């Protein structure tokens, strides 16, 4: 007779990852082992600091809050199909969060030991669980390293920033603590305490024959199975499992889960017959996973709900902070953070399309402003537009209505994960920024042919657009149209340059910082308006005058200009450097104060920081002078 309860469990689980990867037979077997739990509103599933359970959990009905008890910070809200409580499978130590029912909830408790074989049998299952765990993991080992890139400075600088490799290496602990098989256990324990390590390798003639960990001491000595005077050979785990020294994160995680161990011994050739090169612990893996762009990227692409992206954006901020603290080049930092931010936007659009239904025609979602330039490092507001392919007149209204609804859903989703609405409503959800290709050509053509103050302002924002999602053909055609129009109306660049010179100077007489005179930010220095915008605007008009396509970043534009104009090479390279220095300064200020970093309290800066800021101001003045001369503009701010 069939088990109707287990069949219902299997029917539910197969709708969600990673259970969808299991064969029907394996899923039926697992479902027989699942326990069904009911929790009243406010009931705890587990508490922070509590010993781990022999299960992890899937929400069947209701919702569960995951919080940090000390701060009350909400890490995630798990609802139907979400997995939580993976620590006993991944780390094995005490829970680092509390899980509490947000409402009446039914949970499926899945036994760790019953599920463990499937982790190694199905690669996708293992990868999914690793990423799910990493997305909610902060370093549980040391507050000193929280939010810092600590997976190895050499790897961070040479590998992770360069590209998103599918299999990134993890850096083991090279400080190896060892003893011989005859060493008494009490000496081993004292050695672990003295060296502040969780394991000691047992070496015989320089080769690993066993390992003693905290767990071995608890299970073998504390419970009385062996006296503290026993030799290490009687207590150690042996034979020791060894792996090659260039082990990847995924390989290491799967090896630990497969053998239910927390330490891996790495040797020169991967066998016990060669010298030891390092020890890899679960903590090393968790540090690498929690601050790894590859894991974040894969986790973003796998999200099934828009709200799941919000904690991942928090992880991106931690990654950014780590990169800055390790002084990675800003060009690399901007590329990585831009890729991750773009991935979040793409995922919001993809999930919104599932809700809205297939698009009637091809379209392109454009990111503009700082996001379009690849310079949106902090969580600032969104600037975007939508262009869709031309349609027959009788279909235009219905088509535009669909895209406005889609854009409204997307911008609302972006706001929910930290991209605030644009105060000027320059977003695709605004009918003025959601148009067909033909309508966009007409609008942009009007800006170029009849440039007034408003048209120049709109152009300065729009002309930094970058394709984030959708078809490239409409974007390419629009770009070609813009450059044709600029070529036919050369006076437009003069108007754009004039607009670029309207930004006020960073300093006044005696090189004193010019601060805001009134309003909410009175006496604060506006680093965006007075320092970054003059450089951004100058790079835009100069690159446009050269009719160079496909380069949106301010620093990259200046570097290209240095190639095009050797006589101004030094100035343009200085502008590129100043741009990156100012972006780094603003980002650090924003991370320090938890805001956009735009308005800076000068009395909070050290003398060194003020000097570094002022070094960039001479470059700003020089490039503004170049604009005034080149485009024959009589006056500009001093």
Q: Residue 72 has what pLDDT?
A: 80
Looking at residue 514, what is its pLDDT?
83
pLDDT band for position 450 (cuts 50, 70, 90): confident
φ, ψ of residue 373 in degrees (nearest 5):
-85, -5
Residue with tokens 């970043």: 553
What's the pLDDT tens digit per position in 527-559?
Answer: 999 999 999 999 999 999 998 988 989 999 999
d(Cα 226, Cα 231) in Å, to the nearest integer?
A: 9
Contact 294, 250 (CB under 8 A): no
Tell me how far apart the alpha carbons of residues 77 and 87 are, in angstroms, rounded to a whole number: 17
266 inside domain: yes
User: Average pLDDT in the 604-621 region?
Assistant: 81
Tell me how far apart the terminal alpha carbons of the chain are, to the nearest angstrom.
88
Q: Give the confidence band of 127 by pLDDT, cuts at 50, 70, 90.
A: low
> 614 and 536 share a domain?
yes
Answer yes or no: are the C-beta atoms of 184 and 232 closer than 8 Å: yes
The residue range of the domain holding 65 is 4-121
Rounded mean pLDDT of the chain? 84
Q: pLDDT > 70: what percent of the chain?
A: 89
- Are 111 and 194 in a shared domain? no
Same domain, 500 and 470: no
Residue 559 and residue 618 in one domain? yes
Given 482, 515, 549, the domain boundary residue is 482
Number of other CB atoms surrounding residue 615 within 10 Å: 13
Of 290, 308, 328, the position where a domain reaches its end is 290
Kindly report the number of other CB atoms within 10 A of residue 455's CB atom.
20
Predicted confidence band of residue 158 (pLDDT cuts 50, 70, 90): very low
Distance of CA 259 to the CA centre of its chain: 31
Q: Are residues 498 and 624 in the same domain?
A: yes
Q: Which of 84, 103, 121 is the last residue of a domain?
A: 121
pLDDT in tens, 457-500: 888 888 889 999 999 999 999 999 999 999 899 889 998 999 88
Q: How many domains does the chain have?
A: 4
- Closest by CA to 341, choosing from 419, 410, 409, is 419
CATH code, domain carrying 378: 3.30.460.10
Residue 406 in any domain: the answer is: yes
Asked whether residue 620 falls in the same domain as residue 511, the answer is yes
- The whole-number pLDDT of residue 538 equals 95
Q: What is the CATH number of the domain that holds 22?
A: 2.60.120.10
Q: Is residue 191 part of a domain?
A: yes
- Helix, strand, or coil (residue 438): helix
Strands of the 105-111 sheet, one edge to the other: 35-39, 105-111, 55-61, 83-84
90 and 35 share one domain? yes
Same domain, 50 and 106: yes
Residues 458 and 394 in one domain: yes
CA 221 from centre of chain = 44
Return phi, psi of residue 75, to 5°.
-90, -40
Between residues 168 and 512, which one has the greater pLDDT?
Answer: 512
CB atoms within 10 A of CB 162: 11
Taking alpha carbons only, the member of 624, 462, 418, 605 closest to residue 530 is: 624
> Does residue 220 lie in a domain region?
yes
The verdict on 503 and 454 lying in the same domain is: no
Q: Is 581 domain-assigned?
A: yes
240 and 366 housed in the same domain = no
Q: What is the pLDDT of residue 120?
A: 74
Q: Do 408 and 284 share a structural domain? A: no
């Amino acid at each position: 007779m069939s088990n109707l309860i287990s069949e219902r469990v299997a029917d539910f689980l197969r709708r969600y990852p990673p259970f969808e990867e299991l064969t029907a037979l394996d899923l039926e077997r697992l479902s027989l082992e699942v326990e069904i739990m009911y929790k009243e509103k406010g009931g705890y599933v587990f508490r922070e600091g509590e010993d781990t359970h022999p299960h992890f959990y899937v929400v069947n009905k209701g919702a569960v809050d995951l919080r940090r008890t000390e701060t009350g910070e909400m890490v995630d809200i798990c609802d139907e199909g979400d997995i939580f409580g993976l620590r006993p499978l991944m780390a094995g130590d005490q829970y680092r969060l509390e899980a509490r029912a947000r409402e009446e909830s039914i949970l499926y408790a899945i036994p760790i030991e019953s599920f463990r074989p499937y982790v190694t049998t199905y690669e996708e299952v293992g990868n999914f669980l690793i990423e799910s765990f990493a997305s909610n993991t902060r370093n549980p080992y040391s507050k000193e390293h929280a939010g810092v890139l600590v997976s190895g400075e050499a790897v961070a600088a040479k590998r992770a920033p360069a590209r998103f490799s599918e299999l990134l290496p993890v850096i083991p602990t090279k400080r190896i603590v060892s003893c011989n098989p005859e060493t008494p256990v009490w000496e081993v324990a004292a050695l672990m305490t003295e060296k502040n390590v969780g394991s000691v390798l047992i070496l015989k003639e320089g080769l690993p024959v066993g390992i003693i960990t905290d767990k071995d001491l608890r299970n073998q000595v504390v419970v009385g199975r062996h006296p503290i005077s026993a030799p290490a050979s009687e207590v150690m785990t042996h034979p020791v499992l060894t792996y090659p020294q260039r082990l990847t994160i995924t390989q290491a995680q799967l090896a630990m889960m497969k053998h239910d161990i927390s330490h891996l011994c790495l040797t020169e050739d991967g066998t016990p017959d060669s010298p030891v090169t390092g020890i890899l612990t679960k903590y090393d893996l968790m540090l690498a996973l929690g601050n790894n762009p590859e894991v974040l990227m894969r986790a973003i692409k796998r999200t099934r709900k828009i709200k799941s992206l919000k904690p991942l954006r928090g992880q991106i901020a931690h990654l950014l902070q780590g990169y800055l603290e390790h002084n990675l080049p800003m060009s690399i930092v901007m590329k990585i953070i831009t890729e991750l931010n773009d991935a979040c936007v793409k995922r919001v659009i993809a999930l919104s399309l599932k809700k809205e239904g297939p698009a009637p025609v091809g379209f392109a979602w454009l990111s503009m402003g700082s996001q379009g330039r690849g310079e949106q490092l902090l969580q600032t507001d969104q600037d975007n537009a939508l262009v869709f392919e031309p349609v027959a007149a009788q279909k235009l209204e219905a088509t535009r209505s669909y895209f406005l609804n889609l854009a409204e859903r997307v911008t609302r989703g972006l706001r929910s994960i930290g991209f605030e609405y644009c105060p000027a409503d320059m977003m695709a959800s605004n009918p003025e920024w959601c148009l067909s290709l033909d309508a966009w050509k007409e609008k942009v053509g009007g800006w170029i042919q009849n440039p007034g103050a408003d048209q120049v302002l709109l152009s300065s924002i729009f002309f930094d657009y970058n394709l984030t999602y959708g078809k490239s053909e409409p974007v390419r055609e629009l770009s070609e149209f813009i450059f044709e129009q600029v070529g036919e109306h050369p006076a437009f660049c003069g108007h754009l340059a004039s607009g670029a010179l309207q930004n006020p100077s960073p300093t006044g007489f005696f090189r004193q910082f010019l601060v805001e005179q009134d309003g909410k930010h009175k006496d604060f220095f506006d680093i965006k308006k007075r320092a970054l915008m003059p450089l951004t605007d100058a790079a835009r008009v100069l690159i446009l005058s050269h009719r160079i396509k496909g380069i949106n970043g301010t620093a990259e534009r200046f570097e290209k200009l240095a190639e095009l104009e050797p006589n101004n090479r030094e100035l343009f390279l200085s502008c590129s450097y100043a741009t990156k220095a100012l972006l780094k300064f603003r980002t650090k200020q924003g991370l320090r104060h938890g805001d956009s970093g735009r308005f800076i309290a000068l009395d909070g800066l050290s003398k060194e920081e003020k000097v570094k800021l002022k070094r960039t101001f001479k470059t700003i003045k020089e490039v503004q002078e170049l604009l005034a001369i080149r485009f024959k503009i009589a006056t500009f701010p001093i």
